[in-house]
């Protein structure tokens, strides 16, 4: 779970907090935080399932964004630091 300060840091330059770019940014931050948790707690199966669900949701949102505006998709991937396929 992200704190209010972490959310504000991720969304500081976003006008539309429900937009696709904002959702992907927040999911990426949550995934990063949960991955660190799972490195320390490898037997936490329920959190691992939640992580996989978040990765799936982020992948779907990125696919949607790519279909709507490929330039925004490329900019977002570069900003977040995801690998490009």
Q: Per-residue pLDDT tens for 34-70?
A: 999 999 999 999 999 999 999 999 999 999 999 999 9
Topology of the domain covering 18-80: Helix Hairpins (1.10.287)
Q: Cβ atoms within 10 A of the Cβ of 76, count?
A: 20
* Confidence band for 10, pLDDT divided at 50, 70 and 90: confident
Tell me the longest C-alpha to C-alpha distance in the chain: 40
Structure token digits, residue 78? 């570069």
Query: Which pLDDT belongs to residue 17?
Result: 83
Q: Considering the entire predicted model, what is its pTM?
A: 0.89
Angstrom distance (rounded) from CA 84 to CA 17: 24
Query: Which pLDDT belongs to residue 85?
Result: 58
């Amino acid at each position: 779970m992200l704190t209010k300060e972490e959310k504000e840091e991720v969304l500081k330059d976003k006008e539309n907090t429900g937009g696709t770019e904002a959702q992907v940014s927040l999911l990426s931050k949550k995934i990063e935080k949960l991955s660190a948790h799972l490195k320390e707690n490898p037997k936490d199966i329920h959190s691992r399932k939640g992580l996989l669900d978040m990765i799936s949701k982020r992948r779907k949102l990125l696919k949607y964004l790519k279909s709507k505006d490929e330039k925004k998709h490329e900019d977002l991937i570069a900003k977040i630091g995801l690998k490009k396929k």
